[in-house]
Chains A and B, each alone.
Chain A
Amino acid sequence: MWVQEELTSLGLPMIITTRYQPIASAMMIKKLEVHLTKLESQQLADHKTLRITKADQKVEAEQVRAVIDALARKKLTIFAVQMVIGIHASSLERLEQRANYCFRI
């Protein structure tokens, strides 16, 4: 939503399309579990080789675990989000200017 707010505040004629497609929780849980296994394996390998695990990896594992739990309890749905931004103008030069202005900011 914040992207849309930023873009519309430019005051340029444009079309913003956002598409939300719900992802099946069972499939998402499966993917996240694979990812969690990887993270935990890394942590275990670090522990065995007396290496310090990166802090963000620990946090990530906790977050993934929390998301899996929420998905399993049907408290959360994950959506695939696709956003398309269309800019239009009366001439090619003006279109170029608008596109540059829009994506510079």
Chain B
Amino acid sequence: MSRPLPVNSSGFALMEHRTRPCGDFLSCLCQKVPEVTPEQVKHELRIRVSIVKKALQQLDVRATLLNDTSILQAYASCLTPGTSLPSFEVEVLDEGEEPRAERATLHAGECEAPVEYDGTAVRGPASIPKAIRHTWKKCITGLHRTFIYTSANNQAHFEQGTVRVADLITPSAATLLKDAVAVTVRDEKRYQRYYEVIGFAPELTCGCKKS
């Protein structure tokens, strides 16, 4: 016994899809999925951001994109709520200068920035006088430790490929306990517990507040 066919427009679309011959279906399966490039993803993201921004503007809500340091802080605050976060600001060190004493263990030279740059001034002990390559020593403090690296420019901003983002925002330790997670950042330990809302009260409709 056949069920009555839907009469609305989307219903027709469904019906059309159902009556498609099997050959078409198989050919659809065999078709190669086109490769999506990072540029395409970024373009799509830009479009989505623009749509959301416009929608927010209609609600008189002002929204702005976060910069690198703010994004890192946002990520870190999700992983380690309640702990004091570093600023994630890149600091350009002067010649012979060491990072401030309050910073964590240093791991110098782990992250090299092999970018060539022809400048005039020679700064920092990491520079190579022979090749006239000028490098600057920089440091950035992550959640667990401070990273020191050399860079070919003296601008104090986050550079891709120098320090991994995951290393910056990873806490010192995370232990799974019964019904909780213990997250340690340096010497500070905090406990987290998560709940997922799986159902809402049926008598409440959207926007209604319990009296």
Binding site for B on A (CB under 8 A): 1-3, 5-6, 13, 15, 25-26, 29-30, 33, 37, 68-69, 71-73, 82-92, 94-95, 99, 103
- Interface positions of B from 70 to 116, Cβ below 8 Å from A: 78, 81-82
Counting residue pairs across A and B whose Cβ atoms lie within 8 Å, the total is 84
- The 8 Å CB contact of A85, one of B11, B180, B194, is B194
- The 8 Å CB contact of B8, one of A68, A82, A89, is A68
Are the CB atoms of B191 and A83 closer together than 8 Å?
no
Are the CB atoms of B8 and A13 closer together than 8 Å?
no
Are the CB atoms of B14 and A30 closer together than 8 Å?
yes
CB distance from A102 to the nearest CB of B (A): 9
Binding site for A on B (CB under 8 A): 3, 6, 8-11, 13-14, 78, 81-82, 177, 180, 189-197, 200, 204, 206-210
Bound CA–CA A2/B200 (angstroms): 11
Q: A2-B204, A2-B208, A83-B196 are in contact. Are A89 and B10 (CB under 8 A)?
A: no
Residues of chain A contacted by B180 (CB below 8 angstroms): 92, 95
Residues of chain B contacted by A85 (CB below 8 angstroms): 194-197
Are the CB atoms of B3 and A37 closer together than 8 Å?
yes
- The 8 Å CB contact of B10, one of A1, A2, A26, is A26
Bound CA–CA A104/B21 (angstroms): 57
Residues of chain A contacted by B193 (CB below 8 angstroms): 86-88, 95, 99
Most-contacted residue by chain B among A6, A37, A72 (CB, 10 A): A72
Q: A87-B192, A92-B191, A103-B195 are in contact. Are A5 and B10 (CB under 8 A)?
A: no
